[in-house]
Chain A
Amino acid sequence: MKKHWGFLLLAVFVFVFASRLYFAFSIPYFSSDDAYFNLRQIEHIRSTGLPLFSDDLSYSGNTFVFSPVFHYIIAFFSLFMPVSFAANIIPNLFASCTVFFMYLIVRRVTKNEGIGVFAGFISGFVPIFFANMNDVSVYSLVIPLFFLLIYLFIRIRDKYCFYGYVFLLIFLSFVHPIILVFCLGLVFFQILVIMESLGRDRAELEIILFSVFFVVWAQFLVYKRLFLFHGMSVVWQNIPSSLLSEHFLSISALEAIYMVGVLPLMYGVYVVFRYLFRDPRKDVYLFISFVLSTGLLLWLRLIEFRVGLIFSGLILVLLFSQHFKLYINYVKQTRAHRLLPLFALFFVFAFIITSVLPSFALAKNVVDSYITSDEIDALVWIKEHTPRDAGVVASVKEGNLIAAVSERRNIIDSYFFLHKDVTLRLEDIKKIFTSSLEIEVVDLMEKYDADYIYFSPVAIETYKINFLPFVSSGKCFEKVYGNTAVSVYHKLDSCRLKVVV
């Protein structure tokens, strides 16, 4: 590796990391409800050494089945700094490392260090990936390692890469089930290789077989309880259908293109078509297989839309770099070869406009829109002024906030596993927010043993309401807290429903 490329790569990494940290620290809170679930787990590990598998606050009593590896890693770093710092810095550090792994893959495939550095730069600014800088997500660890695994797979005949691959595969299998996307991609790759008669490589087949069996086995070991509880429907993660549709419908096609990055998408798709139909090439087929596997899972709604876009965006960067190589080779053959730096610069500028700026804009939007200080004030008020065993009704997007910040029982949150009545709960919560009948709301709140209603901008947006109509009589509900954004209502103890048999 030439020295200047090394420095440039390091500079790219520092720039990506610094940009992510700038946005992450621009607000004192985290930007998603799930972040607060992860934060609770990290804090619990830090204080007790164990994850919170059995929780009294989530769903007013819930059992979590998940892999706590990521939480342990952050908890370890939180020994040297405050938890909120560790939860911001470490995931962003991991995510920024994607730059290196992308560089390695692209350098290997294109045999061009400059293109590798450029691909690293692009991967750091895939808008939807960049905008996740503040949500303490396990994907910040999984995604870079996913690409490192691809790199090690490409070099599987190298002894050290082979051992690295096996070790990393085992590690990732126990970190997150998204590793199944990798296995599916490998299976697609093998099918494409067979279909195009590109010469079967025994070593590849062996490692693919091993990977598939190991990953499937690991998932059954870790999530056996969920498989038995939900059966086949576990693949949809027990997410209520209304919420699932909402995830997919809330982003339009144009927005999706914007979030993935226009240039990588455009040229990535071109490369897919070119190599799939005209110019079969094994290493490019590997990337195409991952696009196909992610696309299939997105189509079947088996992975979260946002996560699917992140994977697609990053894999398209790999495909784009292949196009970039073709482009450079083409320019070299023309009379304009002396203008090559200018053409390359044009690409960099185009990329800055279509990916870097959208990344910043999206990140700004994320930090601005999720949670305000008014909401935090209300949540803290609940923590300080309500009984410890109080139950709080909030929208599903705020369930973890209620548990983490207010430290009170919620009725529903984003962990949908191990509940057969998730859809019913979701409907009941909707009824509580939208009903005009006081008696119905009292009945539902008694059903879930809830005492307070947290009425926030998120609830207003989710349920398309401006106020709670049933509180106007004042017989059963009183407003106990209010600021410009949030109101908290208390169900009076005197108001009870009695069933006469």
Chain B
Amino acid sequence: MNVNKLLVGLFIVAFVLLLLPYFFRFAQGNTVFIGSEPHYHARIASFIRDNGMPEKDVFSDKKYLFNPYHFVLAGAGFIIPIEIASIIVPVMLGLLSLLFFYLVLRSFKFNSQRSFFILFIFVFSPFFVSIFSLSTPRALALVLLFLGFYLFQKKSSVSFLFSLIILGIASLCGFVHAVMILIILLVYSFCMKKRFIRFYFAFTVVFLVFLFVYLPYYLFTGGFGLVLKSDLISEFGAIYGFGVFSLLLGIFGLFLVWIYKKRFYAAYIAGLCIVISSFFVNDILVYANIIVCFFAGSAFYSLYVREWELSDLRSFALLVIFCGLLFSVVSNAAVLGRMPPKNEFIDCLDWIGLNTPQSSYVFAHPADGFFIEFWSERPVLVDEFKVNKNLEDDFDLVWNSVDIKSTQDVLSRYSINYILIHEDLFSGLVWDKKDQGLDLLLKNPETFKRRYANSYCEVWEFKGS
């Protein structure tokens, strides 16, 4: 088995898999970059490219939480449009992460075959495609973590110095990432029983990031920025969830390496805590997935090299496992490819951007907020970032009420000028069929006027009460 050739092949496969969601998307005639959250980052990056670092978010009036990913995206935005950069940058980061992960594995003195199998599972995990196809800071955080960790272990002091800078930048990618970096370094130092002094330095750097970035932001806003929302199992529709096959292999892998429990008990306990906490704090799923990949890769390697008693079964069993992994990843890519927005939706948003006053407020579903802010450059009252219980209650009333008076009251109170309706709202997002709630009231010509429509969406003007 020529591992070097296989590794090159794996890089090519990884590249293809990362582009797979866009293959599916383009095949459906949809050319817009994927996902709601990536639109938020694209908007901020676009602002940074044009105006430099913002003090606060223009549309939400919230203090801007510094994130290095926005600068990476803005940097790419100087060369290519932000929309294209939002597709290319994560893919590049994905390939880099693969390289750095390989270096980390090699630095742990794993043999090249075992490293290959762990990387193989990593590439064929649904979360790999999700993280490095969607333009979010998670992609950068993971790359920096691998690189920083690789340099952290090296004996050279220069490498260590670089690792502090890189891990410091990685901890700026999000509060959860910062905490995870600390945990990983602590467990590493504990298990290896060396370089505690290095850990203290790294801790100081990350602590400074807490002190000067997250603490002031928390005091101003009461939050830690965007928090990932995801289910747990990828085959059940979770974007960043565990693949069932990786998980099953991971459990088997855990049994195989259980014999090392005394030596690495801290790593085992931390790993278990990370996996369990990922059920509750979804951002940790990224790290829990890496742990699962490690165990699953070890299991796959062990199944590959062991001598099978049922020798006729070996190839078939390995093929089934491979097919299962492939199925998971392709199925996830297909789900990603179908994610909003669609071209027709962008037409609606472009129409709003071109034909409505700059200060107009658009009433739309919270899931559409980032799209409107990016494409129409109009403010919305609720998006996935701005969650407000009172607003949500009022807006629920508007979506579902058939009382024109109360709907008018709420829309006037929040100075809404336009309403955005699209097909997905009728398939369970708000309603389960036409002519319900607000959709029924829109037929009242004295209150609403349809200004734009295509096969997917409609823009209605609210004339006032």
Whether A203 contacts B310 by the Cβ 8 Å rule is yes
Q: Which of B326-358 contact A (CB under 8 A)?
A: 327-328, 331, 335
Whether the Cβ atoms of A501 and B317 lie closer than 8 Å is: no
Give A215 Cβ to nearest chain B Cβ, in Å: 10
Q: How many angstroms between the C-alpha atoms of A202 and B244 in the bound complex?
A: 24
Determine chain A's interface SS by DSSP, over half rule. Answer: helix
Residue B440 at the chain A interface, CB threshold 8 Å: yes
Q: Quick check: B310 and A227 within 8 Å, CB to CB? A: no
Binary flags per residue of B383-424, CB closer than 8 Å to A gives 1, else 0: 000000000000000000010100000000000000000000
Q: Are A214 and B235 in contact (CB under 8 A)?
A: no
- By the criterion CB–CB under 8 Å, are A501 and B440 in contact? yes
State in angstroms the CA–CA spacing of A162 and B244 once bound together: 26
Quick one: given A213-B321, A501-B404, A501-B444, are A232 and B231 in contact (CB under 8 Å)?
A: yes
A353 within 8 A of B: no
Q: B61 interface residue, CB < 8 Å from A?
A: no
Whether the Cβ atoms of A228 and B432 lie closer than 8 Å is no
In the assembled complex, the CB of A247 is this many whole angstroms from the nearest CB of chain B, namely: 24
CB distance B245 to A216 under 8 Å?
yes
> Do A220 and B432 touch (CB < 8 A)?
no
**In the complex, B237 has a CB within 8 A of chain A:** yes
Verify if B7 is at the interface (C-beta below 8 Å from A). Answer: no
| B212 CB within 8 Å of chain A | no
Known: A206-B309, A224-B331, A501-B441. A166 touches B236 (CB 8 A): no
The size of the chain A interface, using a CB distance under 8 A, is 27
B198-212 CB contacts (< 8 Å) to partner A: none
Say whether A234 contacts B248, CB under 8 Å: no
Within 8 A of B (CB), among A194-228: 202-203, 206-207, 209-210, 212-214, 216-217, 220-221, 224, 227-228
Confirm or deny: B103 has a beta carbon within 8 angstroms of a beta carbon on chain A: no
- Please tell me if A156 contacts chain B, counting CB pairs below 8 Å: yes
The answer to whether the Cβ of A341 comes within 8 Å of any Cβ in the partner chain is no
The complex places the Cα of A33 from the Cα of B227 at a distance, in Å, of: 47
Residues from chain B with Cβ under 8 Å of A217 in the complex = 245, 320, 323-324, 327
How many whole Å from A263's CB to the nearest CB in chain B? Answer: 38
Contact B432 A156 (CB under 8 A): no
With A166-B316, A209-B303, A213-B320: A232-B327 Cβ-Cβ less than 8 Å: no
Most buried by A among B232, B314, B324: B324
- Of A156, A213, A228, the residue contacting B237 (CB under 8 A) is A228
User: Roughly how many angstroms separate A162 CA and B235 CA in the complex, as a whole number?
Assistant: 30
Q: Does A420 contact B (CB under 8 A)?
A: yes
Judge whether B443 is part of the interface by a CB distance below 8 angstroms.
yes
Which B residues are CB-close (under 8 A) to A156?
310
Chain A residues within an 8 Å CB radius of B314: 206
Q: Are A234 and B331 in contact (CB under 8 A)?
A: no
Contact with A203, one of B309, B404, B444 (Cβ below 8 angstroms): B309
CB neighbours (8 Å) of B440 from chain A are 499, 501
Chain A: which residue is nearest B440 at the CB level? Answer: A501
Check if A202 sits within 8 Å of B236, measured CB to CB. no
Q: Report the minimum CB–CB distance from A461 to chain B (whole Å).
A: 30
Contact A420-B432, Cβ < 8 Å, known A206-B309, A232-B231: yes
Tell whether A421 is near chain B: CB-to-CB under 8 Å.
yes
Q: Tell me the smallest distance from the CB of A295 to a CB of chain B, in Å.
A: 22
Residue A231 interfacial (CB < 8 Å): yes
Does the CB pair A216–B310 fall under 8 Å?
no
CB contacts (< 8 Å) of A162 on chain B: these are 310, 312-313
Bound CA span A209–B317, Å: 8
Instruction: Decide yes or no: A231 and B317 within 8 Å by CB, A217-B324, A221-B327 being known contacts.
Output: no
For A159, give the chain B residue with the smallest CB separation. Answer: B312
A232 touches B232 (CB 8 A): yes
Contacts of A214 in B (CB 8 A): 320
Residues of B within 8 A of A166 (CB): 313, 316
Q: Are A234 and B320 in contact (CB under 8 A)?
A: no
The answer to whether A227 and B235 have CB atoms under 8 Å apart is: yes
Distance A26 CA – B337 CA, assembled complex (angstroms): 55
| B428 close to A420 (CB less than 8 A) | yes
Bound CA–CA A20/B437 (angstroms): 55
Partner of A224, one of B233, B235, B432: B235
Q: What are 14 A-B contacts defined by CB distance under 8 Å? A: A162-B312, A162-B313, A203-B309, A203-B310, A210-B316, A212-B248, A217-B323, A220-B244, A220-B331, A224-B235, A228-B236, A499-B402, A501-B404, A501-B440
Given contacts A209-B252, A209-B303, 13 further A-B contacts (CB under 8 A): A202-B308, A202-B309, A206-B308, A206-B309, A206-B317, A213-B248, A213-B317, A213-B320, A227-B236, A228-B237, A231-B236, A231-B238, A232-B233
A interface with B by C-beta (< 8 Å): 156, 162, 166, 202-203, 206-207, 209-210, 212-214, 216-217, 220-221, 224, 227-228, 230-232, 234, 420-421, 499, 501
Can you list the 9 inter-chain pairs with the closest CB atoms, starting with the nearest?
A: A210-B317, A217-B324, A231-B236, A202-B309, A203-B309, A214-B320, A228-B237, A213-B320, A206-B310
